[in-house]
Structures are given as C-alpha cells and as structure tokens.
Amino acid sequence: MKDFEPGGMGIGRFKSEPSLDVLRELGLLSLRPCIVYRADSGTRSAIRPAILRIKGDTMRLLRLHTLAALAALAPICVLGASFTLSDAKLSITSLDGGSTRLSESFTATSTPQLERQNLAADEILRLSFSVKDANGEVAVPDQVAVKVDDDKRKSIVNAVAIKRGKAVYSLKPDKLSHLGRSITVSLLVGSADPSFDPLNLHLLDLLLPGPEPSSSSTQLTQRARLEQEQGFKPWPARFHTFGKSAADSMPPKSLSAIWAGAVLIVPWTVLLGLLSILLPSLSFKAPSLSIIALLLSLFYLESLAAVYWWSLTLFEMLPWLALGGVVATLTAAARWDHLNERST
C-alpha cells in the first residue's frame, strides 16, 4: 500500500489523508470491540472500541496517527479465543489395565485418524486430557461431555468431571447395551463465556460386542483369543506350607515292616519259650475254666493289636485294650494262685 508507511514498534503513518478505499482495505470501517496485544512485547492491553461512521466522502472522526496505530494493531486483533487440549490420550485397554491394545494422542486441532475399532466385552475405552486456554493457562470450562451416537440415531451424553484442569473418562461396553453395535464417540467442550469457542471433536468409531453367546457357542473374548494364539496359559495352582508333610517324616516301609513283625512275633516267642515250664502243670484231659479264660484273653489282645494296626486309631483302641488287659490280668492271677496251691 503506497499511502501507508509502516514504522517501528508496530506503529506506522499515512503519507496523506487516507481515502475510503484505503480505510476499507485496512479493515478500519467496521472495527469491533476486542482485546489486542502489542506487536512488540506481546503484553495484553485494552483499547476503546473505535467505531467509524462514514457520511458522504469526508471522514474527520479520528486523527491520522490514531488511524495509523489502529491499522498496525488490526491484523492481530482476536475476536474469539478457543480451548486447547494438552496431554490428551485415547486408549483401549483391558478391564484390569494389564494390557493396552490402542493408544493415540490428539489435540484440539488434530484428532486421531483411526479405522473403526472393535471393543471386546472385557475391554474399556479410556480418555484423559487437560483443558487450557490460548495462553497455556489451566481453564475450567462450564461443560465437558462425551457424546456417543449409534447408527440408529440414538445417543447418550455423559458429563466428564474436571479436577484441577485434568479430566479422566472411562467407557465400558456393558453401559451401551441399549445402543446399536456401531457407535461414534465425540468430545464436547463448552463455556458460558462468549469469548471462548466451543469444541466438538470426533474421536473414533467403535463396534460393540454382539449379544451374549449361547452355552453351546465357542466364541472367545479378545483376551482369551490372544492367550490361545500367543501361548499364554495360567499357571497351575501352587500350595505351600512351611511345615513338613507327614510323608516326609515317616520311616521307610522296610523299617516299619521289621518293627511290626517284632511286635507281633516277640510275645509269641516268649510264650512258646515258657511252655517248658507250663506244660508239666497243664492237664490236657480236662482243662479248667481259668486256663481257657487266660488263653482267650491273650488271643483277644493279639487280635486287638492286629485290628489296631489295620484300621483303628489310638483313642479308639485304648478302651478295648483296657478291658482286655483287666480280663487277662485277673485270669492270669487266678491261674497263678491255683499253681501255687498245687505246688504247696
């Protein structure tokens, strides 16, 4: 522009009185109230609205140096600020957070360019971001929501809570059972302040899992299918105790057999060894009742030992042992008294 000479520090001047075409070209005929920034330091300053009214071919409302300053500041005049998103991430993970299948970052001007994703029944959609203004300061908008639309023109809107400028949102498939399988997820950010422009960001398209399979169906979830394909199998259950098991503290079977034979054979060996003493005093023609009772009590005790070794416990065997011991003691004492009487 030949009639306008730019100067330093964002200030210029007109060489002559500007015409209407020059003012129209500079955009000074319809200036709106706005917040402007100095071109040299970037600090914010407010100027009063300049309202230019044109009547006829003359214009004398402002001085020429004021017009020059307004012309220099007009290109950087901001009519509406926008929200910005930082640390924004979109991911699809398992319910326990152990595995992440998709992780994409995005901004307010660059959303993820993804194909339609399948969301399994054991997966979850996670969304996290921070809201800031044009100056990079933390902003708290009046409304932040996630909108879900399906192919049947049904939609739901879930509010997202923001704490200290940070928002975290999770979406589970079981909460969308009343919608169609094909859905679209969008992020809405708005404010009651007219100086902020709202945001409407399309994040991604999802395909929800179908209805629950029947009992005869062999359909697997995404996680189970990956476990089969990649060879990951659950470890068998492991049980641990700090004490030694009974099998570790038991003696060898051969040693146990030797002791069992000794317990069974030694009493009979002692009895047979005493036969040389007992046989002269025994009468095999007419045995007395005391001899029969003594032999039956001894047979009872030996049988009780065999049964105890086979199936009885100690506390089950003790009453029967006490009963047999009393009978054997009485019969033996009676027979001993009878022998003493015959010897005398």
For residue 213, is it within any domain? no
pLDDT-derived band at 73 (thresholds 50, 70, 90) equals very low
Query: What domain range includes position 141?
Result: 81-207
Confidence label for 18 from pLDDT (cuts 50, 70 and 90): low
| Contact present, 20 and 57 (Cβ < 8 Å) | yes
User: Please, what is the Cα angle at 308 between 305 and 313, to 5 degrees?
Assistant: 145
8 A C-beta contact, residue 155 and residue 182: no
Which of 144, 179, 207 terminates a domain? The answer is 207
Which CATH number goes with the domain that contains 118?
2.60.40
Whether 193 maps to a domain, the answer reads yes
Residues 87 and 183 in one domain: yes
Give domain status of residue 174, yes or no.
Answer: yes
Same domain, 89 and 203: yes
* Beta strands 155-159; 182-190: pairing state: unpaired
Segment 335-340 shows an average pLDDT of 80
Query: Among 188, 207, 226, where does a domain finish?
Result: 207
∠153-156-157 over CA atoms, to 5°? 135
Nearest-angstrom CA–CA distance, 325 and 297:
8
Question: What are the tens digits of pLDDT across the range 233-249?
Answer: 677 777 776 777 766 77
| 202 and 92 housed in the same domain | yes
257-298 pLDDT per residue, tens: 999 999 999 988 998 888 878 777 766 666 678 888 888 999
DSSP three-state, residue 140: coil
CA atoms within 13 A of residue 297's CA, in its CB half-sphere: 20
pLDDT recorded at residue 211: 64
Is 24 part of a structural domain of the chain?
A: no
Measured distance CA(306)–CA(299) in Å, rounded: 11
> Is the pLDDT confidence value at 315 over 50?
yes
Alpha carbon distance, N-terminus to C-terminus of the chain: 160
pLDDT tens-digit readout, 123-134: 888 888 888 887
3-state secondary structure of 288: coil
- Domain assignment of residue 215, yes or no: no
- Predicted local confidence at residue 263, as pLDDT: 92
- Domain-ending residue, one of 157, 178, 207: 207
- The most confident of the ranges 49-63, 82-96, 141-155, 322-336 is 322-336
For residue 206, the cross-strand partners are 117, 183
Inside any domain, residue 217: no
Rounded Cα–Cα distance for residues 155 and 183 (Å): 9
Structural domain count of the chain: 2
More confident residue, 81 or 312: 312
**41 belongs to a structural domain:** no
From 9-18, 212-221, 330-339, the region with the lowest mean pLDDT: 9-18
What is the mean predicted confidence (pLDDT) over 151-168? 83
Q: Is residue 8, in this structure, part of any structural domain at all? A: no
